[in-house]
Structure 1
Amino acid sequence: MKRFFLATALCACASLATAEEPVIYTTDESFDDVVFGLENAILDEGLVIDSVSHTGDMLERTKADVGGEVTIFTKADIYSFCSAALSRKVMEIDPMNVQFCPYDIFVAQQPGGQVMIGYRPFPAGEMQEVQLLLDGIARAAIGME
């Protein structure tokens, strides 16, 4: 019985946790120009792009299959990459920082809207160094250096 109450309490606490808002920058640049800037900014840091998820294409391609009627994004891609040195540094401090790797930056545009570039914020502590890296890359991609 004691375990049941503990599990219930843990579930209640977990359900109260809310995700932080993403860090987002908007620009009047075209989607393709922002993507080009992002790719270059990642490479300029000496990093390798692990993958690009074409989330906007997937959502549009599957819209009818799942009963959707709205075009959410005209384009939306998510770039995944990692820094071996920085990842090692933060994981030596706390091995559970593995949950944050690889790092992602998204570029998206909603119909009729500006292009957005952003990322999920990281928790306080050692992961703030990763957040500074992502912020610098996102800002460089749109010329906000």
Structure 2
Amino acid sequence: MKSFILAAAMSIGFMASAQAEEPFTYAFDGSFEDATFAVENAIVGQGLVIDYVSHVGDMLNRTGEDVGSEAMIFKNADIFLFCSAVISRQVMEKDPMNITHCPYGIFVMETDNGVTIGHRDYPDGSMQAVENLMQQIVAEAVGN
């Protein structure tokens, strides 16, 4: 029972620290489809493979009624998940616990306010190489 309580407390601590960081977000001047295409091309252009695309917006829209909500959070929202063997090895050699950040994700979302591309803010220090990669990919996708 003590192990369960400790694990639960640690999970809550990790969630609280993860929620404390604001993601990096960038407005995209174009459609959701153009933004997802730009993100996909920027990831692949870095020589990376997209492992999975999570269609979060579709899931939330599909399940809203089932969970008693009529709120439409996103018009569209996808998360592109991928990893870099080179950078992942680099950051995990510095700290094996950096495994908790892999795979890396870039999101594209569309709301009434427009289309946004972004990624989480990774911890300072040993995860800086990942954050640099994410910023390069997003900068390319938004046209900077």
Which of the five TM-score ranges fits, normalised by the shorter chain? 0.7 to 0.9
Number of the residue aligned with 1:58: 59
2:20 partner SS: coil
Number of the residue aligned with 1:49: 50
Task: Output the TM-score relative to the length of structure 1.
Answer: 0.87
RMSD: 1.9
Alpha-carbon distance between aligned partners in 2 of 1:128 and 1:89, rounded to the nearest angstrom? 10
The percent identity for this pair of structures is 51
Unaligned ranges ≥5, structure 2: none
Alpha-carbon distance between aligned partners in 1 of 2:130 and 2:16, rounded to the nearest angstrom? 26
Q: Which amino acid aligns with 1:116?
A: T
Number of the residue aligned with 1:71: 72
Contact kept? 1:29, 1:142, Cα under 8 Å: no
Q: Across the two proteins, how many residue pairs are aligned to each other? A: 135
Residue pairs, 1:114-125, within 5 angstroms: 114-125=114-125
Q: Which amino acid aligns with 2:78?
A: D
Q: Which amino acid aligns with 1:57?
A: D
Distance 1:73 1:20, change over 3 A: same
4+ residue stretches of structure 1 with deviation over 3 A? 13-18
Residue-by-residue CA offset, 1:41-69 (whole Å, 9 max, x unaligned): 00110000000000000000001000011
Alpha-carbon distance between aligned partners in 2 of 1:71 and 1:16, rounded to the nearest angstrom? 25
**Greater share of residues in helix:** 2
1:122 partner SS: coil
Unaligned ranges ≥5, structure 1: none
2:88 partner SS: helix
